[in-house]
Amino acid sequence: MASVFERPVGRRHLLQLAGGVAAASTLAACGGSSSGGGDGRLKVIGAGSQEAGLRKALTEYKAKNADFDFNLSFSPADQLQTALRAQLAAGNAPDLHAVYPGNGSAMSMVQLSKAKLLADLSDQAWTQKIPTGFKGAYQQDGKTFIFSPGTSVLGAIYNKKAFATAGVQPPTTWSELLTVCEALKKKGIVPLALGAQTPWVTQLINYALVPGTVYAKQPDFDDKMAAGSATFASSGWADAMNKYLELQKRGFFNDNPNGTTYEQATSMVGTGKAAMAVQVSAVLQAYRAAAPSPDDLGMFPFPATDTVADNWIPGGIVVGLAVSAKSKKADQARKFIEFCAQPDVVGAWAEAVACVPLYAEGQAKVDPVLKPFLPYLADNRAVPFMDQRWPNAEVQPTHFAVVQELLGGKTTVDGALKEMDEAYRKST
Amino acid sequence: MTATVAPPPESVRRNAVRGKKGRGGIAPPWFFAVPALLVYALVMLYPSIVGAGSAFTDWSGVGEQRSFVGLANFKQLIHDDQALGALRNTLFLTVAIVVVQNGLGLLLALGVHTTIKSRMLLRVIFFAPVVVSPVMVSFLWKYVYNPAPDAGLNAALGAVGLGSLRQDWLGNPSLAIWSVAFTVIWQCAGYSMVIFLAGLEGVPPELHESAMVDGAGTVARFRHITWPLLAPAVTINVMLSTVGGLTLFTQIIAMTNGGPGYATDTLSTVLYKQAFVFGKFGYSTAVALVLAVFVAAVSFIQIGYLRSRETAA
């Protein structure tokens, strides 16, 4: 029998062939989705803030496992929400990908595990070592879904030379903070750099103040919010937001914070044009890169009240890694997670991204700049970043927007908090 | 003397008739369109219809869980202050862009449709921003709009003694939307210019010459000759800028992300945030459907009016 290619091809037959090829291509395209790609390498998408630690762990693991290879890329926070969610929706997510701990974001562990998109890691031995206070960040319904190397703290990153010029020391109370800011302002130094045009930066001052104005007095505030017996508007959140505005009214921020970006604020502190910025320790490396010498910068807990004992700190588990439930290389990915969870790897990763390791064998190796925060963690005077216990992904962006409106004079503290309460009460 | 011409052969007459049908050629068989229609159905119609179905569910955008919620998403949209604010911003931006971009484009076209020596260079300069990626343009203008007194536009104002006019161009909620509109107009005015220029090239010069002989001035000639004959160019420009304004997204996300607060949110940024930030894909699709219907309705009304104006001209 002659093959189709040996026969003269008429117009009708040509169309039949073209249609067949098109249909075959389409079917192949629709049915051939495979998680992680087909080149044998583990596909990994990490959060930009974790690059130093994750790259180090992957390189080390590859050196120890000759048959292992990876395809690594990173996404800034906003792109995690879009590109990665689109891949998850299409069923072709990378084998290992970044996931936010706890709840409160569309890319958070709770939201994605509810959608059955994350592999259960509970059978790995390291999950037994997760401290009780942090279980909510890693676990949903008793199952562990992410690995994260530890805790990032939030406080003031400050320029030591700027402080020396004004002859001031890191403050320990709210009144002292105002005095320090006044002294810096008199010397022509911007006391606090604020890049509120970058949405996630807007929340940081409130996050630094709320542990003192809310959680030190009501440690169960999150539970009361969940039960409906507390609101943002009637809590210490109002005190925190008023203090935020007081800093603006006293002229302690750079001009036009709503038009200033995170990068510009980073540069201001690095160069000494500004003295401080309220930030997470995970971005210390970026601030150090902006300074003439890394030793120019220090960090201290940002005081919220005049009672030292009430000045708690925010400390949140940093962005974690999860194994895609649909990954065809899930076993390989899980083995890598197990490797990452070894105490020495956890320590090296945590050190690379300036966070406090989840656990350690003996004395944990911590960036010296973070030492002022360690007693707070040891004394249980640290609370997770607030959004990690918010019930839906709408509260946090609402918080960003209302802070920008407050700084722009377009709303009041009461109006802002009522809007956050409305977002909180929306369905999960 | 009378010339006699023999009738053309039958085959030629038959082809001429067929040619009329096919507008100057042989009408192709309908099934030639099938491959293109198949591709269109596969990459456009099918995803659109499946996507539209999500507007009637509570799907989060990931996972299999979804329930049919009827018209709940559309009812929510009517009472959504953020979406209504975004609609106001969208309409404001659209009107500003349509009026100013086309006005400026027309002035530029008239300016370079002259005999000045540098007209070709000027055409290139005015059109250059159009070929730059909107993201690049947005980041460039974000730099220009730097609120620091010694940077960008504020520094330029200070240098010419207008320091009192320095502004927080993107950070002031009352000013940010104007700043975004200006950026879009700066980039796209050259596009309108090129379309108007093509229209101007089609205006017969003898009409202007005879009007000049009759004593008509520049304004009278523009009003009675140029403007009516530019009607097709106006139709295209108004249509394109309206659709562009109603669906504006890139410049806003890159420059302000809809902020400060909600000051520059448009329907496009709201539907993006609902889908990818809030995890409400169903509601986001409902917003997208309403936006699509709205854009289609505005376009049909507009094209109907502008076409009638062309006929009248």
pLDDT digits (tens, 9 = 90+) for A177-227: 999 999 999 999 999 999 999 999 999 999 999 999 999 999 999 999 999
Nearest residue, CB atoms, B147 vs list A19, A86, A260: A260
Q: Which residues of B touch A22 (CB under 8 A)?
A: 35, 38-39
Q: Would an 8 Å CB–CB cutoff place B73 in contact with chain A?
A: no
Say if residue A62's pLDDT is above 90.
yes
Say if residue A25's pLDDT is above 70.
no
Q: Which residues contact A97 (CB under 8 A, 6 or more apart)?
A: A44, A45, A46, A84, A321, A322, A324
- In tens, the pLDDT along A244-267 reads 999 999 999 999 999 999 999 999
Q: Which of B276, B284, B285 to mutate to test the interface with A (most CBs of A within 10 A)?
A: B276
Q: Along the 313 residues of chain B, how does pLDDT read in single tens digits? A: 444 445 555 554 444 444 445 556 778 888 999 999 999 999 999 988 888 999 999 988 887 788 999 999 999 999 998 899 999 999 999 999 999 999 999 999 999 998 888 889 999 999 999 999 999 999 999 999 999 999 999 999 999 999 999 999 999 999 999 999 999 999 999 999 999 999 999 999 899 899 999 998 989 999 999 999 999 999 999 999 999 999 999 999 999 999 899 999 999 999 999 988 888 999 999 999 999 999 999 989 988 888 887 776 6
Residue of A nearest to B272 (CA): A82
A156 domain-assigned: yes
Structural domain of A352: 42-149+318-359
| Shortest alpha-carbon distance between residue B34 and chain A (Å) | 9
Q: Which residues of A touch B278 (CB under 8 A)?
A: 106, 392-394, 397
| Shortest alpha-carbon distance between residue A400 and chain B (Å) | 7
Q: What is the pLDDT of residue A359?
A: 86
A30 domain-assigned: no
Distance CA A262, CA A258 (A): 10
Q: What is the pLDDT of residue A56?
A: 93
Interface pTM, i.e. ipTM: 0.79
Q: Where are the beta strands (DSSP E) in A366-408?
A: 382-383
CATH code of residue A276: 3.40.190.10
Q: Which residues contact B168 (CB under 8 A, 6 or more apart)?
A: A255, A256, A258, A259, B147, B175
Residues 10-49 of A with CB under 8 A from B: 15, 18-19, 22, 26
Q: Does one domain contain both A161 and A300?
A: yes
Q: Does one domain contain both A82 and A218?
A: no
A400 domain-assigned: yes
CA distances A147 to A12, A378, B220, B252, Å, are 59, 22, 75, 35
Q: Does one domain contain both A352 and A335?
A: yes
Counts for chain A of helices (H) and strands (E), in that order: 18, 13
- Return the higher-pLDDT residue of A42 and B24: A42
Q: Does one domain contain both A133 and A195?
A: no
Q: Does one domain contain both A100 and A204?
A: no
Task: State residue A31 phi and psi, 5-degree precision.
Answer: -95, -10
Three-state DSSP state, B19: helix
Q: Which residues contact B263 (CB under 8 A, 6 or more apart)?
A: A408, A410, B89, B173, B174, B176, B177, B256
Q: What is the pLDDT of residue B74?
A: 95
The count of other CB atoms within 10 Å of the CB of residue A391 is 18
Q: Does one domain contain both A332 and A386?
A: no
Q: Judge contact between A171 and A379, C-beta under 8 A.
A: no
A402 domain-assigned: yes
Q: What is the pLDDT of residue A31?
A: 33
Q: Does one domain contain both A164 and A144?
A: no
Distance CA A109, CA A124 (A): 17
CA torsion, points B68, B74, B76, B80, in degrees to nearest 10? 150
Q: Where are the beta strands (DSSP E) in A80-171?
A: 96-99, 139-140, 143-144, 150-159
- Return the higher-pLDDT residue of A343 and B2: A343
Q: Judge contact between A355 and A314, C-beta under 8 A.
A: no
Q: Would an 8 Å CB–CB cutoff place B149 in contact with chain A?
A: yes
Q: Would an 8 Å CB–CB cutoff place A248 in contact with chain B?
A: no
Q: What is the pLDDT of residue A427?
A: 62
Q: What is the pLDDT of residue A84?
A: 85
Q: Would an 8 Å CB–CB cutoff place A407 in contact with chain B?
A: yes
Q: Does one domain contain both A115 and A164?
A: no
- Return the higher-pLDDT residue of A297 and A316: A297
| Shortest alpha-carbon distance between residue B116 and chain A (Å) | 42
Q: Is A196 in contact with B65 (Cβ distance < 8 A)?
A: no
* Topology adopted by domain B85-312: MetI-like fold (1.10.3720)
Nearest residue, CB atoms, A197 vs list B38, B65, B170: B170
Q: Does one domain contain both A242 and A283?
A: yes
Q: Which residues of A touch B281 (CB under 8 A)?
A: 89
Which has the minimum average pLDDT: A80-89, A341-350, B156-165, B168-177?
A80-89
Q: Which residues contact B42 (CB under 8 A, 6 or more apart)?
A: A26
Q: Does one domain contain both A256 and A195?
A: yes
Beta pairing, strands A313-317 & A382-383? parallel
As a whole-number percent, the residues of chain A with pLDDT over 70 amount to 90
Q: What is the pLDDT of residue A17?
A: 39
Say if residue A15's pLDDT is above 60.
no
- Return the higher-pLDDT residue of A120 and A8: A120
Q: Which residues of A touch B62 (CB under 8 A)?
A: 85, 88-89, 111-112, 115, 117
What is the count of residue pairs from A and B with beta carbons less than 8 Å apart? 120
Q: What is the pLDDT of residue B3?
A: 44
Q: Which of A27, A85, A118 to mutate to test the interface with B (most CBs of B within 10 A)?
A: A85
Say if residue A96's pLDDT is above 50.
yes
Distance CA B235, CA B310 (A): 8
A375 domain-assigned: no
Residue of A nearest to B255 (CA): A197
Distance CA B86, CA A393 (A): 20
Q: What is the pLDDT of residue B66?
A: 85
- In tens, the pLDDT along A359-408 reads 888 777 888 999 999 999 888 888 989 998 899 989 999 999 999 999 99
A240 domain-assigned: yes
Residue of A nearest to B253 (CA): A78
Q: Which residues contact A398 (CB under 8 A, 6 or more apart)?
A: A419, A420, A422, A423
CA distances A287 to A209, A290, A371, Å, are 22, 5, 18
The number of distinct structural domains making up chain A is: 2
Q: What is the pLDDT of residue A198?
A: 92
Q: Which residues of B touch A94 (CB under 8 A)?
A: none
Q: Does one domain contain both A284 and A393?
A: yes
Q: Does one domain contain both A406 and A285?
A: yes
pLDDT band for position A428 (50/70/90)? low
